[in-house]
């Protein structure tokens, strides 16, 4: 293997034979001095001012970068909120309409009996009030009761 030719091939980035590649790999692997020198160079430490300036630039970019998702989110949430409210109102109206249509009409057999019972209970209660002794509190109101109630002759005789 001609070293000079090999170096020329390497310099011209020409394809190497397997033997030449093996030689190059070995050369690269055994080299230690240059890597050590380079690793020993001092680190670059960015200043706080540099970092602060970078942060400012990134923050300036941040709203623009997130504007599209935010707009999409706003549109989605705004739309869904309005749609939700509209749906709720529509459901309530439909339910009320349906309830009006389907609510059972008072049964003619049941309603009069209930009403009659209520009226009877009321009348019984009223008669008990009338025959009971008037209290002090109701004494003042008794005049109005006598004025309003027209006693019949039969009633007066029964007393």
Q: In the complex, which residues of this chain contact other proteins (CB under 8 A)? A: 3-4, 7-8, 10-13, 15-16, 21, 24-25, 27-28, 31-46, 50-51, 53-55, 57-59, 61-62, 65-66, 69
Q: What's the closest the beta carbon of residue 77 comes to other proteins, in angstroms?
A: 18
Nearer to other proteins, 59 or 136 (CB): 59
| Least distance between other proteins and beta carbon 66 (Å) | 5
Cα 137 to Cα 3, 90, 142, distances in angstroms:
133, 54, 10
Shortest distance, CB of residue 11 to other proteins, whole angstroms? 3
21 vs 124, beta carbon nearer other proteins: 21
DSSP one-letter string for the chain: --HHHHHHHHHTTPPPPHHHHHHHHHHHHH--HHHHHHHTSPPP---HHHHHHHHHHHHHHHHHHHHHHHHHHHHHHHHHHHHHHHHHHHHHHHHHHHHHHHSPPPPTTHHHHHHHHHHHHHHHHHHHHHHSPPPHHHHTTHHHHHHHS---HHHHHH-
**Considering beta carbons, is residue 42 or 108 the nearer one to other proteins?**
42
Nearer to other proteins, 55 or 127 (CB): 55
Of 7, 11, 31, the closest CA to residue 20 belongs to 7
Comparison of 55 and 77: residue with beta carbon closer to other proteins? 55
Least distance between other proteins and beta carbon 101 (Å): 52
State in angstroms the smallest separation of the CB of 96 from other proteins.
45
């Amino acid at each position: 293997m001609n070293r000079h030719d090999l170096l020329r091939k390497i310099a011209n980035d020409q394809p190497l034979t397997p033997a030449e590649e093996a030689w190059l790999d070995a050369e690269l692997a055994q080299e230690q001095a240059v890597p050590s020198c380079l690793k020993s160079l001092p680190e670059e430490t960015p200043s706080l001012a540099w970092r602060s300036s970078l942060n400012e630039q990134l923050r300036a970019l941040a709203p623009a970068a997130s504007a599209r998702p935010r707009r999409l989110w706003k549109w989605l949430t705004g739309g869904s909120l309005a749609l939700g409210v509209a749906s709720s109102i529509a459901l309530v109206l439909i339910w009320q309409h349906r309830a009006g249509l389907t609510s059972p009409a008072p049964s003619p057999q049941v309603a009069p009996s209930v009403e009659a019972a209520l009226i009877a209970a009321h009348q019984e209660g009223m008669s008990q009030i009338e025959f009971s002794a008037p209290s002090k509190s109701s004494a003042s109101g008794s005049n109005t009761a006598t004025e309003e109630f027209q006693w019949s002759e039969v009633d007066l005789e029964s007393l």
